[in-house]
């Protein structure tokens, strides 16, 4: 199968070196260096298709024809060929539902739920058995939209929202538009692919984790200082998800309940006890949570459940 030069990279951790002079504008919208351009592509004409599928479309199809033993006439109409017309346009053969579904999301792999087939390491598939937390919501649990922290921190939309791309001047769509206008919205039962209306509102993010679980989420990051490695907490903010404490707070920085902050209540649960130290003592997430590379070269959190991994036996840290 022919592969194109894609904006999608097949590696989990996307190594992309950017000179810092590029400047770090504050989102939204986010920069568009990684993954696909965050817009809707379901009302394209042939020029739109060719904008991404540059290269040689004829050779692409003819290789396919040879591999699959197709005859010339399975794609070319003999009457038109006699007039010297080989094809009228991409959409003569490829289906798109304008305003509803893009051609890619009507592909068999997409309808079967195999997002990774094309989106690679940016996401995980719903049915691959990956880890999704099951603990109760706390002050650090992200929300999809409407974060409760400063200026809306604590949600995806704090950074990913509509606007004008700084680099290209092209419009960027909302998360609702980019997802709904793939066309899965219209699938029977499709809402459950991304939402769980029965979940308590504070846990709405768990439905998103069907594809955006901690393993993929905490591995989306550009290398901003050009040193060839990604240093969690050691990169410029807003070039990904783990480069800076500001990035952590973008998703996790929801509001702190002032009643908790002022109380000396020993009944406060242990995660909350520690997370209050962010507001009260200016602790950073990575002061306690270390991201280490696992055998697959992916960042995972070092065990943060065992007291002794941070507190010396019998003593304070």
Q: Report the residue number, 54 or 228, with the smaller CB distance to ligand HEC.
A: 54
Q: Provide the token pair at 208.
A: 């998103």
Residue 298 lies near ligand HEC (rule: CB under 6 A)? no
- Per CB under 6 A, 34 contacts ligand HEC: yes
Q: Applying CB under 6 A, which part among 18-26, 163-171, 254-262, 283-291 lies near ligand HEC?
A: 283-291
What distance in Å separates the CA atoms of residue 42 and residue 51, rounded to the nearest whole number? 14
State the minimum distance, in angstroms, from the CB of residue 38 to ligand HEC: 4
149 in contact with ligand HEC (CB under 6 A): no
DSSP single-letter state for residue 263? -
* 11: contact with ligand HEC by CB under 6 A: no
Number of DSSP helices (H) and strands (E) in the chain, helices first: 13, 4
Q: Which of residues 96-125 bind ligand HEC (CB under 6 A)?
A: 96, 102-105, 107, 109-110, 113-115, 117-119, 122-123
- Long-range CB contacts for residues 101-107, cutoff 8 Å, separation at least 24: 101/42, 101/181, 101/182, 101/183, 101/186, 102/40, 102/41, 102/42, 102/44, 102/181, 102/182, 102/183, 103/42, 103/44, 103/49, 104/41, 105/182, 105/183, 105/184, 106/183
The answer to whether 159 touches 174, Cβ cutoff 8 Å, is no
Backbone angles phi, psi at 281, to 5 degrees: -125, 10
Scanning 17-25, 223-231, 255-263, 285-293 for contacts with ligand HEC by CB under 6 A, the matching segment is 285-293
| CB nearer ligand HEC, residue 192 or residue 297 | 192
Q: How many residues bind ligand HEC (CB under 6 A)?
A: 131
Minimum distance between the CB of residue 286 and ligand HEC, rounded to whole angstroms? 5
Q: What's the CA gap between 18 and 184, in Å, rounded?
A: 34
Binding-site member from 9, 22, 24, 75 for ligand HEC (CB under 6 A) = 75
Contacts of ligand HEC in 79-98 (CB under 6 A): 86-87, 90, 92-94, 96
Tell me if 126 contacts ligand HEC by CB under 6 A.
yes
Task: Report which of 254, 251, 245 is spatially closest to residue 236, judged by C-alpha positions.
Answer: 245
Output the smallest distance, CB 23 to ligand HEC, in A: 13
65 forms part of the interface with ligand HEC (CB under 6 A) = yes
The single residue among 165, 231, 289, 298 that binds ligand HEC, judged by CB under 6 A, is 289
Calculate the alpha carbon distances from 66 to 61, 74, 84, 92, 266 in Å.
9, 12, 22, 21, 72
Query: Which of positions 214-253 make contact with ligand HEC (CB under 6 A)?
Result: 214, 217-218, 220, 222, 232, 238-242, 247-252
What gap in Å lies between CA 231 and CA 225, rounded to an integer?
10
261 binds ligand HEC (CB under 6 A): no
Report, in Å, the least distance between residue 256 CB and ligand HEC: 10
By beta-carbon proximity to ligand HEC, the closer residue of 229 and 277 is: 277
Q: Which is nearer to ligand HEC, 297 or 309 (CB)?
A: 309
Among 9, 12, 24, 35, binds ligand HEC (CB under 6 A): 35
Per DSSP, the three-state class of 276 is helix
Question: Measured between alpha carbons, how far is 184 from 193 in angstroms, rounded to an integer?
Answer: 8
Cα–Cα distance for residue pair 185/178, rounded to 1 Å: 11
User: Shortest approach of ligand HEC to residue 238 CB, angstroms?
Assistant: 5
């Amino acid at each position: 199968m022919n592969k194109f030069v894609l904006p999608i990279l097949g590696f989990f951790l996307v190594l992309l070196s950017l000179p810092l002079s590029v400047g770090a504008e504050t989102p939204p919208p986010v920069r568009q260096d990684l993954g696909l351009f965050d817009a809707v592509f379901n009302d394209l004409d042939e020029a739109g298709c060719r904008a991404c599928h540059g290269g040689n479309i004829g050779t692409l199809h003819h290789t396919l024809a040879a591999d699959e033993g197709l005859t010339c006439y399975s794609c070319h109409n003999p009457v038109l060929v006699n007039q010297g017309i080989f094809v009228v346009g991409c959409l003569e053969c490829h289906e798109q539902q304008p305003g509803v579904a893009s051609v890619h999301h009507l592909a068999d792999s997409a309808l079967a739920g195999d997002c990774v087939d094309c989106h690679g390491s940016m996401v995980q598939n719903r049915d691959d058995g990956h880890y999704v937390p099951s603990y109760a919501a706390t002050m650090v649990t992200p929300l999809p939209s409407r974060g409760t922290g400063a200026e809306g921190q604590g949600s995806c939309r704090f950074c990913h929202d509509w606007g004008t791309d700084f680099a290209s001047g092209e419009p960027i769509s909302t998360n609702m538009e980019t997802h709904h206008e793939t066309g899965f919205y219209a699938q029977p039962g499709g809402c459950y692919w991304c939402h769980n209306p029965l979940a308590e509102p504070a846990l709405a993010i768990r439905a998103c984790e069907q594809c955006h679980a901690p393993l993929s989420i905490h591995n989306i990051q550009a290398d901003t200082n050009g040193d060839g490695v990604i240093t969690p907490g050691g990169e410029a903010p807003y070039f990904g998800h783990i480069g800076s404490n500001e990035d952590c707070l973008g998703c996790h920085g929801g509001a702190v309940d002032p009643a908790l902050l002022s109380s000396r209540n020993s009944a406060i649960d242990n995660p909350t006890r520690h997370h209050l130290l962010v507001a009260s003592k200016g602790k950073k997430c990575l002061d306690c949570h270390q991201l280490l590379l696992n055998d697959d070269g992916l960042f995972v959190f070092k065990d943060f459940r065992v007291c002794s991994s941070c507190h010396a036996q019998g003593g304070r840290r």
